Amino acid sequence: MQQMLKPLLMRFISFGVVLAAWEYGGRTGLSAAFPTFSDTFMALFGMIQDGSLGKAYLNTMEPLLIGLVISIVFGVSLGMLMGLRESAEWFFSPIFIVAQAAPLAALVPVLTFAYGISLVAKVLTVCIMAMPVIVINSMGAVRNAPNSLVEMGKSFLGSRRQVVTKIILPAASPMIFVGLRLGCSSGFIGVILAELLITPTGIGDLISYNQSVAEYPAMYAAILSIIVASVLFIEGLEYLEKTMFRPEKRA
């Protein structure tokens, strides 16, 4: 019990230090565009009360969830295929290595030109931000599965399917979850980029509109809300990992 409470306490202390520094920076008049945390929190509470934050999230969650589901399903499947077959790795890995290293935000105007200000462009933005990380981590996880266990499965006359499903996939799953957490965090970045650069809707619209009318507490409140949503989503994935794997098997 004490081992569980200590990391939680350290997290609360970390958040408290950051919020205290935010409040202090706002009160010292660091910038007219930098409000205090208390003003930001009040603006966030007001946006929740009037329903504007809820309506914004309804618009933001649609492309985000569609993009993340596509990225997870195809990313993990393709990463496993690349890890199991060298020919697939030779064919696909250069694409995703370049995609992971390239400034993908620069492709958003290209997607807008190709697909217009539509849901498809936003979903593709989420996918190009999230999928490379998921694919590369899934491939590495499968490729680095313990060779001794694989050889043992073969020596016991296990079929290729049995070796993959009962040995390689369970051994690779913790590392795959690392890719999922990193990919999903990139997906949140992608959906906000899409809403800022493609068409002003959802949380991106709240950020850009409040910036344009100099309502900086509301602007920071919208930014804070998407950060909190992203953290909670990633924490949910981490909780799922903890419930699925023993402590020594977690990433």
pLDDT at 5: 60
**Local confidence band at 6 (pLDDT 50, 70, 90 cut-offs):** low
Cα–Cα distance, 132 to 172 (Å, whole number): 17
Q: How far apart are CA 206 and CA 57, in angstroms?
A: 10
Classify residue 38: in a domain, yes or no.
no
pLDDT, mean over the chain: 82
238 in any annotated domain? yes
Q: What is the pTM of this model?
A: 0.82
Q: Which of 17-26, 55-64, 144-153 has the lowest mean pLDDT?
A: 144-153
Choose among 135, 136, 114, 138: nearest CA to 125.
Answer: 114
Rounded CA-CA distance 106/103 in Å is 6
Query: Is residue 91 included in any domain, yes or no?
Result: yes
CATH of the domain at 109: 1.10.3720.10
Q: What is the pLDDT of residues 81-110, one digit of tens each?
A: 888 888 888 888 888 888 777 777 777 777
The total number of structural domains that make up the chain: 1
| 3-class DSSP assignment, residue 29 | coil
Do 123 and 187 meet the contact criterion of CB atoms below 8 Å apart?
no
100-138: burial string, b at 16+ Cβ within 10 Å, e else: eeeebbebbeebbeebeeebebbbbbbbbbbbbbbbbbb
Residue 46 forms part of a structural domain: no
| pLDDT score, position 246 | 55
The parent domain of residue 81 ranges over 53-249
Q: What 3-state class would DSSP assign to 213?
A: coil
**149 falls within a domain:** yes
What is the pLDDT averaged over residues 190-195? 86
Asked, for residue 3, whether it belongs to a domain, the answer is no
Q: Is residue 166 part of a domain?
A: yes
The H-or-E segment that residue 30 falls in is: none
Contact 175, 140 (CB under 8 A): yes
> CA 7 to CA 41: how far, in whole Å?
25
**Angstrom distance (rounded) from CA 94 to CA 96:** 6
In a domain, residue 22? The reply is no
What is the pLDDT averaged over residues 111-131?
Answer: 81
